[in-house]
């Protein structure tokens, strides 16, 4: 699959979820204290993202 989520620990020891397309980072979440919280963030994006509208500023 060309797109995927990846969870990595940053230098502060927090877990960050990255969304990647062809190995290029498209966006990432804030840092979380637990890996479970990072997984919850991914689940939230998957659940709520498909119906999100696009706005232009």
Strands (E), 1-57: 3-9, 15-21, 24-28
pLDDT of amino acid 50: 86
Distance from chain centroid for Cα 48: 13
Rg (CA), the chain: 12
Q: What total number of domains does the chain contain? A: 1
**At residue 40, what are phi and psi to the nearest 5 degrees?**
-65, -40
pLDDT of amino acid 18: 97
For residue 34, what are the domain limits? 3-48
pLDDT of amino acid 1: 67
Question: For residue range 1-46, what is the model confidence (pLDDT) as tens digits?
Answer: 689 999 999 999 999 999 999 999 999 999 999 999 999 999 999 9
**Under 8 Å between Cβ of 17 and 49:** no
pLDDT of amino acid 10: 97
pTM: 0.84
Distance from chain centroid for Cα 56: 22
pLDDT of amino acid 47: 93
Q: Is residue 56 part of a domain?
A: no
Q: Is residue 53 part of a domain?
A: no
């Amino acid at each position: 699959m060309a797109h995927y989520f990846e969870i990595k620990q940053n230098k502060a020891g927090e877990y960050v979820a990255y969304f990647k397309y062809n190995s290029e980072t498209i966006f990432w979440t804030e840092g979380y204290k637990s890996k479970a919280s990072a997984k919850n963030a991914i689940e939230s994006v998957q659940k709520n993202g498909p119906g999100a509208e696009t706005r232009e500023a």
